Structure formats: C-alpha cells, structure tokens
Amino acid sequence: MSKVKSLLSTRMGFFGLASILFWLKTYLVYQVEFNLGVSGAIQQFILLINPIAFTVILFSIALYFKKTKRAYIALFVVMAIASMILYFNVMFYREFSDFLTMNILLGSNNVSGAVVSSTVAMMRPWDIFYWLDFIILLTAILYKKKSPIKMDSRPLRKRYAVATTILGVALFAGNLALAESNRPQLLVRTFDRNYIVKYLGLNFFTAYDAFQTAQNNHVKASADESNLVDIVDFAKENDAAPNPEYFGEAKGRNVIVIAMESVQQFLIDYELEDENGEKHEVMPFVNSLFHDESSYSFDNFYHQVGQGKSSDAEILGENSLYGLPQGSAFQTLGSTNTFHAAPNILHQEAGYTSAAFHGNVGSFWNRNDTYQQFGYDYFFDSAFYDVSGDNSLEYGLKDKLFFDESVQYLEQLPQPFYTKFITVTNHFPYPLDEQNAGFPTANTDDETINQYFATANYADQAIEEFFNYLKASGLYDNSIIMLYGDHYGISNMRNPHLASLLGEDQDEWGDFQNTQMQKVPMIIHVPGAKNGQVSHKTSGQVDMLPTMMHLLGLETKDYLFMGQDMLSEEHDDTIPFRNGNVITDDYSFIGQSIYDNNTGEEIQDTLSEEELAKLNQIQEDARKELGFSDDLMMMDLLRFYTPESFSNVERNDYIYSDQLKYLENDPLRSKSLIEMNGGQSTTDLYKTDAPELSDDTTEPAKDSEGNTDNKDQNSSEEMDTSEATE
C-alpha cells in the first residue's frame, strides 16, 4: 500500500490514475447512455480501448508544465473540460439520440435552444458518478493533510511528457488501424456520427467535428456572389424547356417517391431459374409498373452516387446537384448549407406539405439535420415505428412492416403532399429471415449474389401492398408515384460472378460491363395517363427533380439545377459519374478509354483527331458540370442566390421527435385524408401478409400522441466491406 501511495504522489502516477479513471468513466457512459449498435467481440474490444488514446494525449498536456501548481491545475482544467464534453453529450443524447456538434454548440441550430431549456429535465440522479473521478482527485489534492496523495513538487523532465504524448499518438494509430480493418474508409465515408464514436471515441469525434466545421466555414467565408456568375450562366443555358405534351399533366397531385434500396435495372423483367429449371419473375409488380401505359419509364437511367451512396441519391434526386467528390454531403454540409430542395420548392410554389419516412435512425447520414435544411415538414424515422425483435434487419424496419406502419402518419398529412419512402430490406448483404423466405436463391459461388434476388422479390411484394393501399384509400388517383433505384446492389468486384446469370461470359467481363451495370430503374407512374412509354434515352438521377417539376406544371428556369427534364425534347444525353466517367447515348468514357455503346469495344484508337477532340470536349463539359455543383455545395453559394418569389428554408420551430403534436394541429389538417374521410382512419385498409403480424403480437402500441411505446433506436449494424452503406 505504501508503494501505491508513493506512486500516486508522483506526477506520472497521479496522471496515470486520472487517465485510468477517465477512461473507465467514458466506457461506462458508452455502455449506459449511448446506443452505438456494437456487435461482435472485435467491436466490443474497440469500444473498450477507444477512449484511451485521446485521454492520454489530452492529459499529457499537464506534464509539460514544470511548476507544481501549474501542472496540477492544468490537469484538472483538461479533466474538467473533457468531463463537461462527455456529460453534455450524455444529456444531449438522452433527448436527441445524437452527439453534440460544433454547429449546435455555436448556436446555429434550433436544437441548441431546446438543449438549454431542458437541461435540468435531462439530468438523472446517477449523473453524479460521471463527476466522481474529478471530485475524488480534486479533494485528494486540496485536503493535503488527510489525503494519502501528495502533490509532487519535483519538476518532470520534458522527455517524459513528449514520450507520453507519443504513446497516445501510437495508441490512436493502433486504434485507427483496428477500426479500419472492421470498418474500411471510416473517415472517408462517414455516414453516422455513432460510428465515429463507436470506433474512435467521443473525444476524437469532438476534435474531428471541430476541424471539419472550421474547414467548411473557411471555404464558405471565402465565397461571395461573384462565384455564382459562371454557374448561373451554365444553369440558364443548361435548362431544357418542358415538353408541352407533358407539362402540368400531374398538376396539383400528391407526390410519392419510393427509393428502392439497391435495385438495379437488370432486375426489370428478370426471371431467375431455380434448380428444377423453373423460372421465377423477381419483381413482377415493379415490372408491371415499368410497362404500364400510365408510366414514364427509363431503361438507360443511371445512378450517379459517390461515397454518400443513398444520401447522394437524395441530393441528386431532390436538388438536382451532385454529391461530393469524397464523403457524404449530408454528413459534411447537411446541417448548415442552404438548399433549393424539392420539399421547399413544392411548398412555396404550390403549397405542398412534405414528409420523409425511413425505418432507420434519423442520425444515419445526418438525415435529422439535412431534412430540416431541405425544408421537410415532418420526418418519421425509427422512433415512430416498432423496430423491435424480428421486425428489423441490419439496416432498419422490414419493408412490409415499414409501409404498413407508415400509413397512420401518411393519412394525417395535408394534401397536396410530397412524401419520400426509403426502403431498406434489399440491402447488402441481403439477409432474409426464415419466416419471410420462399423465393428461390441463385446458384453462384457468391452468397451475396445468391440472396440478392430473394430480398428484391420481398421489396417488390412490399411495394405492391403499398400500392394496393393507395388504391383502396383513394390516394392513388390523385397522386404521382416515382420509383427509383438508389444505387448498385452488386458491386463491381462481384459482377463477374453474376455474368452467367445474365447470359454473359465471366472471362469477357470488364470496365464497360461494370459501367452498364450502374443502370437503375426509374419509373414515374401517373395514374390515368394513357401515353406512357419506356424511354431509351440516357439519363440520370440528377434529372429527377426537373422532370417532376415540369409534370407538376412548375418552371425550372430560375433554379440552379445540373439536371434536365427527361421528357423534354432538349434533354442532353451526357451523364457524368462522380468518379469522372461519362455516359452518352452512343459512348462510354471510362478512365482513359472510350467505348462504343453498341459494340462494347474500345474505339479511341480508331478515331480521327477531330472526332477525338469532339469527344474529349464532352468529357471536359461533364467535369465542368461536376465542378459547378461542387462549388455550389462546398461554398454554400445558394445562400447568395434566391429565385424570384422564393425564400430560403426557415427551420422548423420543433424537432422531428416532437412533431406529432404539430401534425395533429396543422392548420391545413382539414385537407388530410383522415379528415376528408370524416375522421375515420384508413389504416384498416392496409393489407399485408407480413408473418410478423400474423398473430398481431408485434403491432406497435401507441400512446396518446400516436408514438410507439418501443423507442428502440439501434444504430444500423454495419458490415465488413464498402458495400455496406445505404
């Protein structure tokens, strides 16, 4: 015991004790307060060790002070600041299931006011334990006579302080390497703050967020209206005049957008042959929509997402802008940027109410913040659904249950409304539990590919059930329904294993075939229309918003869109990809190669200098378009540009977790389906064969405000490869 007292009475010993106590306290908070979606022994180990490195680095600051009092004061100041950051995050997480960011701390978010006003209410009796280490150590130093621990008056050599800092850096490097092995490209492809905390720790997240905020603010501070000149000129020249045949065809109708997770174009009309030689149509209902006389469908429609995956698809589809060259625009810029997004445009130009529906946590891809900036009135995330037990898979609520539980909120929205439903069941690695199994699996040497068709079939059934409800409730005839694939489902490295199922030679598979596989379905279903068609023109997700607006009878010429109306006779067939590749009707520009789309052969060596120069200009124009979009996003240039009779978003006075009482008191509620139905709910019109509901044991219980009793907001559990994001 005397040796322990002697050790703790040295600066290094006291520093070590403070570090150990803070590490253990942080780990306790992780387990008790935060819901980080940890699974498996490796993630548990990473969670255990991730507080150590930054604790050592931060606390080592005190070791650089030679004078005794200054050294101990510095340690307690650092410890107090670190403890406050930890505790403030605890309180914030209790209310918002998310972590504090610099934007919130600096007051640029309406959430900051809610935090201050409800601080006392968020406190708990056991919170004293989160300050106990600080109190005990401070007491031990202040009460010198009774304390077994004494201040060490001997100056500490600088090399010990440096060595301690280096140790912390080395520990962090090891932590990062281990995290990268379990979650590749963790920092490059950040899509949930929970993941950074889970893998690298809360202190690292705080520093990382501060750095990103400062970096973004610096870029924005250097921008002004002059940066818009070339972009405005491009947008005006790029705008494609609407086709009079279709302009306003869906004027005044509700808009329902369905993001079909990981659905690729090759699934359209595809039949999977089972082991007995019998063929099974994978997506029969979506196929029927694709070819319906009331549908405008596109079979050369490409996803254009980058590292932001599903969130990039939302940027493209609702803003007609591209995602960022690296990372996710939702995560990096979504909390503060100005957007001219579909929800706000339709609200201001045509009085639409807007809502997004998603059976995963709202923090995923930073949707809670970004949807506020988009102008969404309401966002129903996993907090509004029963996601417990067998109801969910890795990335959220199963699609059949998701649509079934969504209609209780959909029927309350004032019409006309703009809604978006984000499905998740057809998500890598495409697991499907036994009670939902039934569709045959493929027989390749890749298990991911084998499962893909079964989950796609499940998604198809869920969409059909939702359409049946729309028809039964009366919403169908007064709506326009847009369905699109958000991104690829089978990655390039797996595509050769898929070749035989597509009638292709695996040995002949290459870059051209991989690029063709980036096609996803695009269906605009307008009930009652008789002039539907399957268009073969080359188009992409950036074209979705202008097309929708023209169908609704809204002009696009005053907006800074990168895309064009796909139904316009002036539509340009040049489609840039985020990786620099470009597709047109006739050519594919892939890396340094140019391919003929009809033959799939490289042709750059057969072209004349004049032909090559013309095609190179197409590539250059595409890169310029990407650059304009990047400038708009990174410099937040839309804050300097406001179309006539339009105003930028004013964030809601409420947070989405409190939205139900606002929905119930919406001044336009009389225009909702439920009120137009005499106050009678239409939820009983929804028919599903979901086995989870067969005995009615998993129906979510609602409180007086309609909230589900189950508030399980588990973060989606990520997989081991780069495919595992929405």
Instruction: Indicate the annotated binding residues for Mn(2+).
Output: 261, 486-487
Q: State whether the Cα torsion 460-463-468-469 is positive or negative.
A: positive
Residue 213 or 169, more confident: 169
Please tell me the least confidently modeled range out of 340-344, 393-397, 410-414, 658-662: 393-397
Structure tokens at 303: 């996803």
* Residue recorded with tokens 């405005």: 232
Instruction: Provide the 3-class DSSP secondary structure of residue 702.
Output: strand
Return d(Cα 524, Cα 535) in angstroms, integer. Answer: 11
Return d(Cα 356, Cα 402) in angstroms, integer. Answer: 12
Residue 697: the pLDDT is 41
Backbone angles phi, psi at 257, to 5 degrees: -105, 130
Residue 476 or 137, more confident: 476
Return d(Cα 348, Cα 363) in angstroms, integer. Answer: 27
310 is catalytic: yes
Residue 703: the pLDDT is 41
Per-chain mean pLDDT for the chain: 90
8 Å CB contact between 511 and 593: yes
Q: pLDDT-based confidence at 626, cuts 50/70/90?
A: very high
Reported as a single tens digit per residue, the pLDDT across 114-153 is: 455 456 667 888 899 999 999 989 988 887 666 667 777 7
Question: Which residue segments constitute the domains of the chain, with CATH numbers given?
Answer: 2-221 (no CATH), 240-573 (3.40.720.10)
8 Å CB contact between 553 and 251: yes
Instruction: Indicate the annotated binding residues for substrate.
Output: 427
Catalytically annotated residue among 310, 354, 473, 479: 310
Structure tokens at 15: 């520093």
Structure tokens at 724: 């595992």
8 Å CB contact between 362 and 387: no
Mean of pLDDT values over 330-348: 95
Residue 185: the pLDDT is 78
Reported as a single tens digit per residue, the pLDDT across 12-40 is: 889 999 999 999 999 999 999 998 878 88
Reported as a single tens digit per residue, the pLDDT across 523-576 is: 999 999 999 999 999 999 999 999 999 999 999 999 999 999 999 999 999 999
* Residue recorded with tokens 């605890």: 90
Mean of pLDDT values over 710-725: 43
Give the Å distances, CA to CA, from 60 to 27, 50, 167, 168, 287.
20, 17, 10, 9, 63
Residue 651: the pLDDT is 83
8 Å CB contact between 342 and 350: no
8 Å CB contact between 387 and 213: no
For residue 5, pLDDT over 70 is answered with no
Q: What is the pTM of this model?
A: 0.78
8 Å CB contact between 37 and 116: no
For residue 413, pLDDT over 60 is answered with yes
Reported as a single tens digit per residue, the pLDDT across 477-532 is: 999 999 999 999 999 888 999 999 999 999 999 999 999 999 999 999 999 999 99
Q: pLDDT-based confidence at 719, cuts 50/70/90?
A: very low
Q: pLDDT-based confidence at 421, cuts 50/70/90?
A: very high
Instruction: Provide the 3-class DSSP secondary structure of residue 98.
Output: coil
Return d(Cα 541, Cα 569) in angstroms, integer. Answer: 18
Name all contacts of 350-354 with Cβ < 8 Å and 24+ positions apart.
350/252, 350/416, 350/552, 350/554, 351/416, 352/255, 352/416, 352/417, 352/418, 353/377, 353/378, 353/413, 353/414, 353/415, 353/416, 353/417, 353/418, 353/666, 353/668, 354/378, 354/417, 354/418, 354/419
Radius of gyration for the chain, computed over Cα atoms and rounded to the nearest angstrom:
28
CA atoms within 13 A on the CB side of 583: 26
Q: pLDDT-based confidence at 707, cuts 50/70/90?
A: very low
Return d(Cα 508, Cα 331) in angstroms, integer. Answer: 39
**Of the spans 25-34, 363-372, 400-409, which averages the highest pLDDT?**
400-409
Residue 191: the pLDDT is 57
Q: pLDDT-based confidence at 712, cuts 50/70/90?
A: very low
The one-letter code for the residue type at 10 is: T
